[in-house]
């Protein structure tokens, strides 16, 4: 069973449907007992960094997620804002992140001459920077759907799983042991997202 965490900030229905299509058994929940029984966890997210952390604190999810992901080593996948929350923090807010992967999110900033839009919205390719089970069988054609204004840089390249170029090269996928994060939306990325979620299910 895969627990999709409901803290009111995510494309829950789309993630549920894609996980089910990939062969998983998903539930959408914020119930602590259901989360404790889960074999895997997905932390989706869309919106403001501080709003996400505040919701996690106020719902008591921080302690439950720490127990599952850090202590019990349950595979966890953060998506979009959910990935940024795994890091130490973001320029977007003042609250500290979960801090499970050392890194930080900063807003895209480009010279006008580059004519690049913020947020990055649309399809972009990824490059595998650190092979792992989640990126099994990825090739140079793998592309995903992005919607974000802030990008993560990890402190150690050992924690960089995928990289993407949008004016600058940033970490579009991060990993530390059983904890994974992706900046893009696999639930909106057709066969590419389906493959990533199948890999997650079979970890």
3-state secondary structure of 74: coil
Residue 185 known to be catalytic: yes
Number of H helices, E strands in the chain: 6, 12
| Alpha carbons 203 and 187: distance in angstroms, whole number | 18
Phi and psi at 190, nearest 5°, equal: 50, -135
Contact 90, 105 (CB under 8 A): yes
Active-site choice (80, 148, 151, 166): 80
Active-site choice (92, 148, 166, 187): 187
Residue 132 known to be catalytic: no
Active-site choice (148, 151, 166, 185): 185
Residue 30 known to be catalytic: no
Contact 98, 45 (CB under 8 A): no
For the annotated catalytic residues, the residue numbers are: 80, 185, 187
């Amino acid at each position: 069973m895969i627990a999709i965490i409901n803290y009111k900030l995510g494309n829950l229905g789309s993630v549920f449907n894609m996980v089910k299509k990939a062969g998983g058994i998903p539930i959408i929940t914020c119930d602590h007992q259901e989360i404790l029984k889960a074999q895997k966890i997905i932390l989706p997210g869309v919106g403001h960094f501080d709003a996400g952390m505040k919701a996690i604190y106020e719902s008591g999810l921080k302690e439950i997620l720490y127990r599952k992901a850090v202590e019990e080593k349950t595979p966890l996948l953060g998506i979009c804002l959910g990935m940024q929350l795994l890091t130490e923090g973001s320029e977007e807010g003042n609250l500290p992140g979960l801090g499970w992967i050392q890194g930080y999110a900063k807003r895209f900033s480009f010279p006008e001459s580059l004519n690049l839009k913020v947020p990055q919205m649309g399809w972009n390719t990824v490059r595998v920077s650190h092979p792992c089970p989640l990126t099994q069988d990825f090739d140079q054609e793998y592309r995903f759907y992005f919607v974000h204004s802030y990008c993560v840089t990890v402190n150690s390249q050992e924690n960089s799983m995928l990289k993407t170029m949008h004016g600058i090269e940033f970490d579009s996928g991060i990993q530390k042991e059983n904890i994974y994060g992706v900046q893009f939306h696999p639930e909106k990325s057709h066969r590419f997202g389906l493959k990533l979620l199948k890999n997650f299910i079979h970890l």
